[in-house]
């Protein structure tokens, strides 16, 4: 098998995730791992990506006890390849953080979102689209805790980055606007929320 085949299989797994076909995703991830083992050096980031996808497939089926060790292994693998302080470590870390958030393990989830944010900010700077995902995840936990003013700071920063770096047709832009407008309305800042929504529509947000 070629190096490309495991990557194509991971793309196929992503399609299965989009369709919420987690059993199919698991099967495809198994094929991706077999393909990777045939061509990749053991010290390759591809294994971290496959482990992360497999963990997501297990989690989607409610197989949390099998999923969580794989999230940890995926993060450790990325750290082995690039070093613990590299932004690539944040990719499996964020998947694990989301897993924990969805299971209401907020303290553990927040710790990982904050670590992922710090890794990305260190490598990418303080105005980069790669900061948006950890900012939104971290903010989601603050919203659950009703720490809305702190959440506004994080989502506001994500919004500023999205305005500066993303086109209106990027799904992340729409996601940030949606989260920010919702929070501002919850805080009673309906006029500001309306202005942001109108600005986004003027940029071409559907």
**Hey, what are 162's tokens?**
């999205």
The pLDDT of residue 3 is 54
The pLDDT of residue 182 is 97
Q: Is the pLDDT of residue 68 over 50?
A: yes
Q: Is the pLDDT of residue 110 over 50?
A: yes
The model's pLDDT over 24-64, given as tens digits with 9 standing for 90+, comes to 999 999 999 999 999 999 889 999 999 999 999 999 999 99
The pLDDT of residue 168 is 95
* Domains along the chain with CATH numbers: 1-108 (1.25.40.10), 125-206 (1.25.40)
The pLDDT of residue 2 is 53
Q: What percent of the chain has pLDDT over 90?
A: 96
Q: How confident is the model at residue 187 (pLDDT cuts 50, 70, 90)?
A: very high
Q: What is the 3-state secondary structure (H, E, C) of the chain?
A: CCHHHHHHHHHHHHHHHHCCCHHHHHHHHHHHHHHHHHHCCCCCHHHHHHHHHHHHHHHHCCCHHHHHHHHHHHHHHHHHHHCCCCHHHHHHHHHHHHHHHHCCCHHHHHHHHHHHHHHHHHHHCCCCHHHHHHHHHHHHHHHHCCCHHHHHHHHHHHHHHHHHHCCCCCHHHHHHHHHHHHHHHHCCCHHHHHHHHHHHHHHCCC
Question: How many C-beta neighbours within 10 Å does residue 178 have?
Answer: 13
The pLDDT of residue 42 is 87
The pLDDT of residue 4 is 60
Name residue, tokens 């390759």: 44
CA atoms within 13 A on the CB side of 15: 8
The pLDDT of residue 1 is 47
The model's pLDDT over 148-186, given as tens digits with 9 standing for 90+, comes to 999 999 999 999 999 999 999 999 999 999 999 999 999
Q: Is the pLDDT of residue 108 over 90?
A: yes
pTM of the model: 0.93
For residues 117 and 137, what is the distance between their CA atoms, to the nearest angstrom? 10
């Amino acid at each position: 098998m070629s190096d490309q085949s495991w990557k194509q299989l991971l793309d196929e797994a992503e399609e299965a995730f989009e369709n919420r076909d987690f059993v199919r995703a698991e099967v495809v991830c198994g094929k991706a791992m077999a393909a990777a083992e045939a061509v990749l050096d053991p010290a390759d980031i591809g294994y971290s990506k496959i482990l992360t996808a497999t963990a997501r497939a297990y989690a989607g089926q409610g197989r949390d006890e099998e999923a969580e060790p794989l999230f940890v292994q995926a993060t450790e693998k990325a750290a082995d390849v690039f070093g613990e302080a590299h932004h690539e470590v944040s990719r499996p870390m964020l998947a694990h953080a989301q897993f924990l958030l969805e299971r209401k393990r907020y303290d553990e989830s927040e710790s990982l979102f904050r670590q992922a944010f710090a890794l990305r900010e260190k490598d990418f700077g303080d105005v980069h689209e790669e900061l948006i995902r950890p900012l939104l995840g971290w903010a989601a936990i603050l919203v659950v805790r009703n720490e809305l003013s702190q959440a506004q700071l994080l989502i506001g920063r994500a919004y500023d980055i999205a305005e500066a770096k993303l086109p209106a047709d990027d799904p992340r832009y729409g996601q940030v606007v949606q989260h920010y407008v919702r929070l501002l309305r919850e805080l009673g800042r309906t006029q500001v929320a309306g202005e942001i929504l109108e600005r986004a529509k003027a940029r071409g947000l559907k």
